[in-house]
Chain A
Amino acid sequence: MTPTLHPSGNVLLAERISKRYQKPSRGDIVVIRSPENPNKTPIKRVIGIEGDCISFVIDSRKSDESQTIVVPKGHVFVQGDYTHNSRDSRNFGTVPYGLIQGRVLWRVWPFQDFGPLGPTPT
């Protein structure tokens, strides 16, 4: 999740309340339980919500081949900000809402970057 999160480690504040009452929106940084390994909780950004049509390059190192998927109901498409080195929905597919653990709100450490984290304003 470089450059949003420091590769050497961050302490973030994530809230678990909003996932019960509303659906995640595009641009949110979420903590999910990995569909590949139930003991891991990666942090990724929500790129597409249900109904969105997402096109992505499957593996930029190997070829230019791209794939287009429609995000099914009840799922989100997540992607790490550093697309060159991130295992995300391009690898393990769309993630059901039930696997979202929380939404990242704030960075506490490193102290120089103390501040809110979230959708990048465009």
Chain B
Amino acid sequence: MSMRLLNFLKQWRGTAKEAFENVSIVAKFLCLLHVTDRYIISTTHVHGPSMLPTLNLTGDVILAEHLSHRFGKIGLGDVVLVRSPRDPNRMVTKRILGLEGDRLTFSADPLVGDASVSVLVPKGHVWIQGDNLYASTDSRHFGPIPYSLIEGKALLRVWPPEYFGSLR
């Protein structure tokens, strides 16, 4: 009885080996895909009115890279993906308008009046703002955000195809 079982298992050894090799190739590919998507470059779907007219209201797919923020190469005017300081599960897309040490003056509430506020961006922080000042919750509301909350820099838009290209 056990001889038959052993013979049966021996027959399947070759197939098992092949199956294992194929599965490990797929596993390695998925790991590579995950590492690239998370740490190097990825596509992100962004939507909302806060970055009009740069980004559409109905939603765009943009290509974002996750390397430059680790080397400190984020500069003024970059469109970045940041983790919201109010809700750690949400990612927001805004533009950097101030680096540490910059003094910024902005209109406190553009819909209400002309009162302006002046702030100095503290060390280790950046000032983010949406291009659409009237419909954006950004550093004018929650203050300058720590640099480490930046997760990626937007490179170009890939969808919709009519608007393929850099974000300016």
Contacts and interface: CB of A to CB of B under 8 A. Distances in A.
Given A33-B148, A35-B148, A38-B146, A98 B123 contact: no
Contacts of A99: 146, 148-149
A74 B124 contact: no
Interface residues of B, number: 16
Contacts, number: 45
Interface in B81-96: 83-88
A34 interface: yes
A45 interface: no
A73 B83 CA distance: 14
A96 interface: yes
B140 interface: no
A16 to B, nearest CB: 13
B47 interface: no
Interface residues of A, number: 16
Identify the 7 closest CB pairs spanning chains A and B, nearest first: A35-B146, A97-B88, A98-B83, A96-B85, A33-B148, A36-B124, A38-B148
27 contacts: A33-B146, A34-B124, A34-B148, A36-B122, A36-B123, A36-B124, A37-B123, A37-B124, A38-B72, A38-B146, A38-B147, A38-B148, A72-B86, A73-B86, A75-B85, A95-B146, A96-B83, A96-B85, A96-B86, A96-B149, A97-B88, A98-B83, A98-B85, A98-B88, A98-B149, A99-B148, A99-B149
